Structure 1
Amino acid sequence: MTATSAEKPMDSSCLAQLVPLEAVLFDIDGTLCDSDPIHLLAFQQMLQEIGYNGGVPIDEEFFVKHIAGKHNDDIGDYLFPDDRVRAAKFLDDKEALFRSLAKEKVKPIDGLCKLKKWIEDRGLKRAAVTNAPRPNAELMIEILGLSDFFNAVIVGSECEHAKPFPDPYLKALEMLKVSKDHTIIFEDSVSGIKAGVAAGVPVIGLTTQNPAHLLMEAKPAFLIKDYADPKLWAALEDIDKKAGRITA
């Protein structure tokens, strides 16, 4: 793959080069909502029940290294390398437990409502792009009140390759009929950022759960704490200025 501008280090001021901005793409877990702690809890409970790791609950470091942002097939191969049938059954049960817990625990990332309005006011296209199973994705979007917000929901398992491959983001660009040169991605995981960068789209990383130094290795445009971060709004103001929405 030829190197793209999105593979080079950027800063928030460089997003103005995307004008006219056409679309905004979002991961879901850890990006729309801080759901990783719920996933961690579900994995801890279920792995402890089967005596994994000698019955000692997995910790956050293990979760970040081996589970967060990864597709379930890859997680299953790691946890149960010699038994794919068991892996599939375990992960189906884990997702059911996650959905049960999520109904009471899922909350939006700070500033998401403000960013949603900014996107809607400018008439931008938007899609959710996730490695989560579709029932999880649709449940979280519903809980967050975003069912009417997204034009499309792209699921990694429904593409030829899931993240960290670019396929899900390339499919989103195709479905929305937008250019990678006029699109922004929001992601919170190393695999997600790698997928966006490989698709040639600038990625803004969120430090919701994963360490900043690990996220930076995946080459995002820049990192933010959440959608209320002043760095994000300075970048969006630069986009508006170049688009003629704000006079200098």
Structure 2
Amino acid sequence: MLTLQSLIKKKHKMVIDLKHYNGFIFDMDGVIADNHHYHIDAWREFCKRHGLSFEVGAFTSKYFGKNNTDILQALLGKSLSDIEIDLLGEEKEAIYRELYQPYIKPLDGLIDFMRELRIQGGKIAIASSAPQSNINFVVEKTCIKEYIDVSVNGNMVKFGKPNPDIFLKAAELLHIQPQKCLVFEDSFSGIQAAINAGMQVVAVATTHKKEEHDPALTIISDFRELL
């Protein structure tokens, strides 16, 4: 059973004391749900429809964790209007939701972990580069709505990850100082964004394997390790 006396362990050493934090900020894709492959499949189909080349390794290393504005403009090699970004982004996200809906589930241990955080008085935010339509989809299908205090999507900040804006916005809405927030992230750009925000971060090894992450980080495979 988790209490705020609990410590996240890494290599048998005590690393992060959960009782130090009042706010817990979760990225969504790859953290709340392990949906990396479904986003890859959706982007592959999107690129096919638009006659764009697609290579999984290059795409993952360059774009995962970034918002649709940055990804679409890079893929298409030109600036896009807000309307174009909205239309193209929603096209891709509709493909993703159709592919993922039959299989969506929360990452192992997530619901129990969130429940214990709330029991102990912690506040919980989602901070995701995804559009709000995807956040609503995942929150509903994983049955975590009752645990979420605030959510921040990519359209609510000017600059996407690795800029810290999205995590700072989440802390602001939680009314908690950044240094009192703990972030859970899977992408390299998201981890850097949390560090840039002055927050401690736990790496979730879904999109990237444990050995791919900076060994100085606290790294977990799923939330069962925190219970």
- Quickly name the TM-score band, shorter chain normalised: 0.7 to 0.9
Looking at structure 2, the residues matched to 19 and 50 of structure 1 have their Cα atoms a distance apart, in angstroms, of 49
What residue ranges of structure 1 are gaps of 5+ in the alignment? 1-9, 234-248
Q: Give how far 1:213 is off.
A: 4.8
Percent of aligned pairs sharing the same letter? 27
Q: Is the 8 A contact 1:77 1:87 kept in 2?
A: no
Question: How do 1:162-177 residues align onto structure 2 when only pairs under 5 Å count?
Answer: 162-177=160-175
Question: How do 1:78-97 residues align onto structure 2 when only pairs under 5 Å count?
Answer: 78-82=74-78, 84=80, 88=85, 89-97=87-95
Alignment size in residue pairs? 215
Looking at structure 2, the residues matched to 105 and 33 of structure 1 have their Cα atoms a distance apart, in angstroms, of 10
Q: Give secondary structure in 1 for the equivalent of 2:202.
A: strand
Q: Give secondary structure in 2 for the equivalent of 1:140.
A: helix
Give 2:68's aligned residue. Answer: 72
Within the candidate set 150, 157, 160, 2:158 is matched to: 160
Give 1:125's aligned residue. Answer: 123
> RMSD of the alignment, in Å?
2.3
Question: How do 1:13-92 residues align onto structure 2 when only pairs under 5 Å count?
Answer: 13-16=14-17, 19-53=19-53, 58-82=54-78, 84=80, 88=85, 89-92=87-90
Q: Is the 8 A contact 1:19 1:182 kept in 2?
A: no
Looking at structure 1, the residues matched to 15 and 107 of structure 2 have their Cα atoms a distance apart, in angstroms, of 24
Q: Partner amino acid for 1:108?
A: P
Normalization by structure 2: what TM-score? 0.85
Looking at structure 2, the residues matched to 87 and 40 of structure 1 have their Cα atoms a distance apart, in angstroms, of 21
What residue ranges of structure 2 are gaps of 5+ in the alignment? 1-8
Q: Partner amino acid for 2:107?
A: I
Question: How do 1:219-234 residues align onto structure 2 when only pairs under 5 Å count?
Answer: 221-229=217-225, 232-233=226-227
Q: Is the 8 A contact 1:183 1:202 kept in 2?
A: yes
Looking at structure 2, the residues matched to 128 and 107 of structure 1 have their Cα atoms a distance apart, in angstroms, of 16
Q: Give how far 1:128 is off.
A: 0.3
Looking at structure 2, the residues matched to 60 and 226 of structure 1 have their Cα atoms a distance apart, in angstroms, of 24
Looking at structure 2, the residues matched to 129 and 205 of structure 1 have their Cα atoms a distance apart, in angstroms, of 15
Question: How do 1:98-247 residues align onto structure 2 when only pairs under 5 Å count?
Answer: 98-216=96-214, 221-229=217-225, 232-233=226-227
Q: Partner amino acid for 2:124?
A: R
Q: Give how far 1:63 is off.
A: 2.9
Looking at structure 2, the residues matched to 150 and 19 of structure 1 have their Cα atoms a distance apart, in angstroms, of 19
Q: Give secondary structure in 1 for the equivalent of 2:213.
A: helix
Looking at structure 1, the residues matched to 61 and 175 of structure 2 have their Cα atoms a distance apart, in angstroms, of 35
Deviations 1:32-84 (A, max 9, x none): 0011111111111221233322xxxx343133123311111110121101362
Q: Partner amino acid for 1:134?
A: Q
Normalization by structure 1: what TM-score? 0.79
Q: Is the 8 A contact 2:203 2:219 kept in 1?
A: yes
Deviations 1:81-106 (A, max 9, x none): 13625962433211111122232222
Quickly say closer, same or farther: Cα 1:183–1:82, change in 2 above 3 A.
closer
Q: Partner amino acid for 1:190?
A: F
Quickly say closer, same or farther: Cα 1:67–1:120, change in 2 above 3 A.
same
Quickly say closer, same or farther: Cα 1:160–1:50, change in 2 above 3 A.
closer
- Could you say which structure has the higher strand fraction? 2
Q: Is the 8 A contact 2:111 2:144 kept in 1?
A: no
Q: State which structure, 1 or 2, has the greater radius of gyration over its C-alpha atoms.
A: 1
